[in-house]
Amino acid sequence: MSRLATIRPSDLETSFGWVRYWDHGAAADGPPLVFLQGLIAGADSWDGVVAVLTPRRRCIMVDWPFGAHRRPMRAEADLSPPGLVRLVTEVLEALGLESAVLVGNDSGGVISQLVLAAYPERITALVLVACDAFECFPPAPYRPLFWLVRAPGATRLLAAAMNRPGFARSRLGYGAVAHDPADLLHWARPLAKDALIRRDLRKLMSGSSSRQTLDAARHFGDFDGPVLVVWAAEDRLFPRSLGERLAGAFPNGRLEVVAESRTLIPHDQPLELAGLISEFLDTSGTP
């Protein structure tokens, strides 16, 4: 059972629509950790990581509109990556958070980078976990798909394919980003059930461009806070050289590589990732 099933969620009304979130360890001192998952990935992708961190850290998981969300956004909502930066800051403000530690994986790492570039004062520390960066957005294997979703009916076909277990487990589905994706297939169900969820995903994918990540990267050298970059040794989307380059772009960046994992390190190696985050926060002086 997902850990989220045991925690009562709360809802926030934003200008984008209603957003559901889970707040763990609210009594912990220091800036909270706010997690951003990847494309067509649910908030429960962070379950194993949060279970380890919450005794000492406040952790906030959000049902971001990345394609696995269950409540569609408003029709007029801008769900391009720059638009989602505004959603993240709205959520931080609604929760009364002046600053936070952002932890982003895959496409969630892109949004984290864009938040840092636009609002560095809101970021105490940054953890980027196997994610797009620089000119690698979208990643090369999926770039045609990000263009195809603009065609009528394309998102419906994607939803149908992702809800076929054989396809979803394959290298064209979750098998590309996780070693054992059998327990991830529920993430694609909202896409099949709700045309408005498909609309939201289409907005995100069609609004994505490497211009956004390249623009954000121009600000990395100005951020003097601690940055941890965690990469997967068996990543099929993002080469290790990209992680090395990303860590080196920050004055206080460092790289850690996790063995026996693909892109979804929170799923493949949650205990090791949680340990790396905990040690990073302790040694970097983050309260």
Could you tell me the CA-to-CA distances from 190 to 37, 66, 168, 176 in Å, in that order?
16, 11, 14, 20
Give the span between the Cα atoms of 116 and 133, in whole angstroms. Answer: 13
Which of the residues in the chain have pLDDT under 50?
1
What pLDDT digit, counting tens, does each position of 73-124 carry?
A: 999 999 999 999 999 999 999 999 999 999 999 999 999 999 999 999 999 9
212 domain residue, yes or no? yes
Helix, strand and coil in the chain, % to nearest 5: 45, 15, 35
Residue 190 lies in a domain: no
Q: Which of these, 129, 128, 120, 127, lies nearest to 99 by C-alpha position? A: 120
The dihedral region occupied by 13, where left means phi > 0, alpha psi between -120 and 50, and beta the remainder, is beta
Residue 101 is assigned to a structural domain of this protein:
yes
In a domain, 265, yes or no: yes
Whole domain around residue 45: which residue ranges? Answer: 3-137+208-283
Q: Name the burial class of residue 144, with classes exposed (0-12), middle (13-18) and buried (19+) by CB atoms within 10 angstroms of its CB.
A: exposed
- pTM for the full model? 0.96
How many separate domains does the chain show?
1
Instruction: Determine, yes or no, domain membership for 148.
Output: no
For residue 12, being part of any structural domain is answered with: yes
Q: What's the pLDDT at 5?
A: 54
CATH number of 223's domain: 3.40.50.1820
Residue 87 lies in a domain: yes
What is the per-residue pLDDT for 1? Answer: 43
Question: Is residue 200 a part of any domain in this protein?
Answer: no
Q: Give the integer Cα–Cα distance in Å for 256 and 139.
A: 21
At 26 the pLDDT is 62
**pLDDT recorded at residue 2:** 59
What Rg, from alpha-carbon coordinates, does the chain have?
Answer: 17
Contact 45, 38 (CB under 8 A): yes
